[in-house]
Amino acid sequence: MIRHGWESRAYYLCDNLSAILCSKEGSISNLPFINLTASSENGVILLGSKGGLLSNLRFSGMNLTCRRWANYPGGLVDYRPGCQDVVNHGAAGIIMEYIEGFEVENIVNIRWSNYQNELWGNPLDFRP
C-alpha cells in the first residue's frame, strides 16, 4: 500500500518501491550531482537495493549543512515509503546502501551544527 499525504523526514530524488509495486528492480548509473547546496536534519540518504543497484554516483561542488530545527528526536532515518519505516541510526552526512562506485571531486563540504544534544556521526556512512 502506498500512503499519500505523509510527511517524511527526508525527501527522495528517486524511490525504489519495487517490493511494494511488485515490479522488476532496475538500476541507476553514472549520475552526477553538481553544485548542490542543501540543509538537512538527517543528511543525504542514497539507497539502492540488492537487485537494483545504484552505481557510479558523482558529487561535485556540494555544500551540505546538517542541523536540527524540528521538534522530534534525532538519531533516526526515514525509509518511508518502502519496506522499512523510521529506524534508529546515527546522523551521517551521506548514508549509502547498495552503492557501487561513489566519487567526490572538487569541493564537497559537509558541516554539522553546534546543536548540543545531537550526536553527529561520520560524514560518509557506507553499508553493504
Number of domains in the chain: 1
In a domain, 10, yes or no: no
CB-facing half-sphere around the CA of 90: CA atoms within 13 A: 10
Residue 81 in any domain: the answer is yes
Q: Which residues have CB under 8 Å from 12's CB, separation 6+?
A: none
Instruction: Look at residues 15, 37, 36, 39 and name the one whose alpha carbon lies nearest to residue 26.
Output: 15
68 inside domain: yes
Q: Is residue 4 part of a domain?
A: no
Position 80 in a domain? yes
Residue 8 inside a domain? The answer is no
**Contact, 97 vs 84, CB < 8 A?**
no
pLDDT digits (tens, 9 = 90+) for 45-66: 888 877 767 889 999 998 988 8
d(CA 35, CA 55): 20
Measured between alpha carbons, how far is 59 from 36 in angstroms, rounded to an integer? Answer: 9
Whether 12 is covered by a domain: the verdict is: no
Q: Virtual CA dihedral for 100, 108, 88, 96, nearest 10 degrees?
A: -10
Q: How far apart are CA 43 and CA 123, in angstroms?
A: 9
CA dist., res. 41 & res. 84, Å (int): 19
Which residue range is the domain that position 25 belongs to? 18-127
39: in domain: yes
Q: What is d(CA 110, CA 94) in angstroms, rounded to the nearest whole number?
A: 9
Which pLDDT value is given to residue 109?
85
What is the pTM assigned to this prediction? 0.71
pLDDT per residue as tens digits for the range 75-118: 777 777 666 777 777 778 888 888 888 898 887 788 887 665 55
